[in-house]
A and B are shown apart, each in its own frame.
Chain A
Amino acid sequence: MSAASPRSSLVRNLLGATTLIGAAGSAAVYCSVGRERFWVNWLVWTLFLLTLGLGNLFLVALERLVGAHWSVPMRRVPERLASLIPLAVPLLLIAFFGVPVIFPWTYPEAAHNPILVAKAPWLNLPFFAIRLAVCVFAWMLFYAFYVRGSLRQDQDKNPAFTVRARRLAPLFMVVFFFSVTILAFDWISGLEPEWYSDMFGVYLFAGTFISGIAAMVLGVLSLKGRGRLSDVQTKHIYNLGSLGLAFTVFFAYIGFAQYMLIWYANLPEEVIWFKHRIEGAWQPVALLLPLLHFFIPFFLLIGSVGKKHPVPLRLAAISILLGHFVDLYWLIFPTLGPKPLFGWPELAMACLFLGLGSLQIRRAMGRGADMPVGDPLLVKGLEWQL
């Protein structure tokens, strides 16, 4: 990597300044606006960064699991984006201090609520902390294994790592699905602990996966735009776009299935959760979600042009990432009240987290070679034909 050019150091300074302003604003939110709003914002943005990182780690492991060749030349991008995990993990650990503020099952009144008493064996602070620790440990372990191992392979060109990475992928899948389900149940649906949906873990997984793909698309296009991934051809990008289309539909399918089952059964304790989120002031947000997360990317990606041309691909990826933020906002913020809150506290915290995330990604983008040059499958990936 060349030494920092004046333009790139200017961007870095700007990002740093944004982060600092965001940090100051966030402190002001904590002191003057209220701890609840602070922690809810913190949770939304931590989960946003964490799910982007986890989604990309999942993409890396998925390639290993199915033995795909086509994505090998682009694999360094999700490996670098997975470095959001070591950024988001401390943020999630800090969010543990917010648990007694925003999670109703920790309130003293919970002892008088028969539903929460029945759920207490799962929803109690010690067990919650154990689950958090186990998940975080597993993510960091697999991150170190897949990303650092791949970087090491750049140097030593040891093909044994490729074999080991494939052998460990099934285990990663099991751990990943359990940990994402726990993340969804503990950190999102636990905010309204009387509500329950079996599918919720799959719902968060679907959002994680598709936004991981969207971030990878943006990363690949950005590197290619700078001429750093010139060996990645249209055929590779076309396949990535196809994957994006497939899992856009998957997310819509899971999201609608969860909604329709609850709508059909019409059980009061389940329906109330959706009633708070799709009626009244929340209705515009509820309509924005399928638009950004499904309709715009779906119609952009359905044709063969949309899957390989950078403009529609980039638009679709941005729409999905916006949709993923709206999704988390729509899942978490209704606990604060019947009206969507979006003011300077949200903007300040967005500056802090987006600044941190951008700095982390910028730093990671210079890590290692742009393609996994030590991977024996790289040649096959470059020669792969659609």
Chain B
Amino acid sequence: MSSAIFAVLGLFSDTHKIVDAANQIRPRKLGRLEAYTPYPVHGLDRAIGLQPSRLGRLVMLMGVIGAGLALLFEGWVSAVDYPLVTGGKALFSWQAFVPVVFEVTVLFATFTAGLAMLFAFNKLPFFGHPVLHSKAIKDITRDKLALSIESTSASFDAEAARQALLDSGAESVEIVPVPSWDRPLSLVGFLRTIAAIVAACVVAGAGLYAAEKLIPVVPPLIHMHDQPKLNAFRESAFSADGRGMRPAVTGAVARGHLPPAFSTPEEAGILLSNPLPLTQAIAERGRRVFNDHCAICHGTVGNGVPLLSRVYGGKPGNFLSKEIGARPDGHYFGVLMLGKNAMPSYAADLDTDDRWAAVHYIRILQRAQNAKDEDLR
């Protein structure tokens, strides 16, 4: 004899009869009621005593959490971590966040609904339901409706359950035993499953790759890298002059790059004086500019000894010499703009403030090499 009984199944072929039977049997508390039907039956959920699902509350909770997380994330990204003004809008522009907040709310809610339904409430994974081993399963998946009284305790009375089902109009009754699992999950089975998943991924990936390469993309769909666009250094039929890059409008002046009002460094020395106040920040900026652009030839202390190898034959100016040290600030500025001897113009590399900051730093270097007694106090 089979030792353990899973449930007693009664088969019906009429939806009204199964609902009536469930309503008759439920108050007798013979065991947990369950129903197996090939299609949904109205009213059966209440008849077998199912409570309203708690899934809705969970979905609501996760939806609210999703909305809050999305808002926090967007706010943090846009206003704290990488503040970037877009189109003159405020950094924390809730209007722009709403679509993403909405999407993330829906994402959290639907994933919670789907996954919690499967794994929390329906207790998946579930390897083989006992009813699948019953004789009635073919009928249940076709046109019969089954009401089952499940054994929930040792005191389950299968005979009483059988009689109750027959009394309430079941056409036939089957006792479903708990199947004996002679082959539980084995290592080989586990490895086979993993191998099958890997194989499925490889096949799907290769298929997609082949589809991407072999199947032509028909307009209006295009690959993103084939989209019509202007390339700055390529020929283009878009503009009349055939160039991709647009030349600057005649007379346009970039910010911080005012054209010089002098033609020689000497003239600049007479016309200009350093407009920047000497502050810690300006001095730091000057040091950065000097070390990046000047030190390679003029040396890190400005003594005219280049950092380049001796193969380089130039003779850069020595800022510490009496002759160069005596020149006014404007002269230095002018040389930076116009270049001198082998030195090219730095007009395109440095903006006005960078140049004046570098001049400040050169003065600091000169003073540091010829420190006076009061500087040491």
Contact = CB atoms under 8 A, between A and B. Distances in A.
A304 B51 CA distance: 13
B68 interface: no
B95 A260 contact: yes
B56 A304 contact: yes
B103 to A, nearest CB: 13
Contact of B88 (A260, A266, A385): A266
B42 A302 contact: no
Contact of A266 (B42, B43, B56, B87): B87
Nearest to A253: B102
A264 B42 contact: no
Interface string B35-65: 0000000110000000010001000100000
Interface string A302-333: 11100000000000000000000000000000
A260 B42 CA distance: 43
Contacts of B56: 303-304
Contacts of A256: 98
A386 B42 CA distance: 7
Contacts of B99: 260
A304 B60 CA distance: 12
Chain A's interface size range is 10 to 19
B191 interface: no
Nearest to B41: A385
A263 B95 contact: yes
Chain B's interface size range is 10 to 19
Contacts of A385: 42-43
A281 to B, nearest CB: 21
B96 interface: yes
A260 B98 contact: yes
A261 to B, nearest CB: 10
A303 B53 CA distance: 12
Nearest to A384: B42
Nearest to B60: A302
Interface in A244-275: 256, 259-260, 263-264, 266
A302 B95 CA distance: 24
Contacts of A302: 60
B98 A304 contact: no
A264 B96 contact: yes
Nearest to A305: B52
A307 B43 CA distance: 19
Interface string B88-122: 11000001101100000000000000000000000
B95 A264 contact: yes
Contacts of B52: 304
A259 B60 CA distance: 26
Nearest to A256: B98
Contacts of B98: 256, 260
Contacts of A260: 95-96, 98-99
A212 to B, nearest CB: 25
Given A304-B52, A304-B56, A259 B42 contact: no
A304 B42 CA distance: 17
A266 to B, nearest CB: 7
Nearest to A386: B42
Contacts of B89: 266
Nearest to B59: A302
Nearest to B88: A266
A266 B88 CA distance: 9
A191 to B, nearest CB: 25
A170 B330 CA distance: 82
Interface string A256-298: 1001100110100000000000000000000000000000000
A66 to B, nearest CB: 20
Contact of B95 (A259, A303, A304): A259
Interface in B50-88: 52, 56, 60, 87-88
Interface of A: 256, 259-260, 263-264, 266, 302-304, 385-386
- The 8 lowest CB-CB distance pairs between A and B, nearest first, are A385-B42, A263-B95, A260-B95, A256-B98, A266-B87, A260-B98, A304-B52, A303-B56
Given A259-B95, A264-B87, A302-B60, 17 more contacts: A256-B98, A260-B95, A260-B96, A260-B98, A260-B99, A263-B95, A264-B95, A264-B96, A266-B87, A266-B89, A303-B56, A303-B60, A304-B52, A304-B56, A385-B42, A385-B43, A386-B42
15 contacts: A256-B98, A259-B95, A260-B95, A260-B98, A263-B95, A264-B96, A266-B87, A266-B88, A266-B89, A302-B60, A303-B56, A303-B60, A304-B56, A385-B42, A386-B42
Interface of B: 42-43, 52, 56, 60, 87-89, 95-96, 98-99
